[in-house]
Amino acid sequence: MTARITPLIAGNWKMNGLTAALGELQRLGELLTAGTAPRCTVAVCPPATLLARVSAQVAVSGIVTGGQDCHPAQSGAHTGDISAAMLADAGAQFVIVGHSERRTDHGETDSLVHAKALAAVAAGLTPIICVGETEAQRRGGEAAAVVRRQIAASVPDEAQGIDVVIAYEPVWAIGTGLTPSLEDIRDMHGGIRAQLVERFGAAGERIRILYGGSMKPANARDILAVENVDGGLVGGASLLANDFYAIISAV
């Protein structure tokens, strides 16, 4: 991890979670408050239907919440969308933008992700800006170049003076159980850090870089020990209190 940066472990529930899932959050809160306080910020990003209830429930245990996406506009005729201001109103502190599933399923471009990140900041949220290569791009030796282009176009210039988070998620590792080697993760995160410092100077040293892509209790400790890995964006494992707590405890 990077010295002087408070790690972030964020759970992305994706399109999962009904009212019954609040029981797992209750259990997670009990685990977090029973012993030593976690050495990281813990965030949960539930579906929008649960966000307000989750925000109210987890406040006593120190967990914060986030949305999974936002529209670049503050309001308007955008049926089915949700604005960053609405997420903040529901208690969120973070919002994920540019996740590979949004880029793939909805054709989101870097310029749209850039606009969403700016909307998040305007609403007082911290955007978690996702980047990552496909399997074909990695096999073709393009991984570093792809991620560099995504960061250049998705991360707003204003990141120098505001709180943003970068999440590196190799697309081929999300939900597959596959993970890059620790050396691959070290190289990619090191490259991201170098790009951030090149662009933002000293501020680039303070931007959190998360790893995402099949992080689970069995590999969390090793991944989180890699230089420039400042936490994790956790998918399936964040749905189960014991698994998510094990990852949090690995920090």
Span 93-117, pLDDT tens digits: 999 999 999 999 999 999 999 999 9
Region of 73 (left: φ > 0; alpha: ψ -120 to 50; beta: rest) is: beta
Rounded to an integer, what distance in angstroms lies between the CA atom of residue 160 and that of residue 11?
A: 25
Whole-number pLDDT of residue 3: 64
Question: Which is the catalytic residue, given 24, 108, 133, 169?
Answer: 169
What's residue 67's pLDDT?
A: 98
Within-domain flag for 204: yes
Tell me the residue range of the domain where 180 lies: 80-231
CATH classification of the domain holding 140: 3.20.20.70
Please name the amino acid found at residue 15: M
Q: Considering the domain boundaries, does residue 137 fall inside one?
A: yes
Name the phi and psi angles at 166, rounded to 5: -105, 135
Structural domain contains residue 38: no
Q: What is residue 106's predicted lDDT score, i.e. its pLDDT?
A: 96
Tell me whether residue 28 is in a domain: no
Q: Is residue 111 part of a domain?
A: yes
> Which regions in the chain score pLDDT beneath 50?
none
Active site residue 99: yes
Phi, psi of 145 (to 5 degrees): -65, -40
CA distances from 166 to 36, 74, 96, 222, 231 (A): 28, 23, 10, 20, 10
Q: 78 catalytic, yes or no? A: no
**Residue type for position 153:** A
Pairing type for strands 64-67 and 165-168 reads: unpaired
Examine residue 57 and state whether it is found in any structural domain, yes or no: no
| Count of domains for the chain | 1
- Asked if residue 58 belongs to a domain, the reply is no
Please check whether residue 4 lies inside any domain of the structure: no
pLDDT at 37: 81
Q: Which of 99, 101, 133, 189 is catalytic?
A: 99
What pLDDT, on a 0 to 100 scale, did the predictor assign at position 192?
98
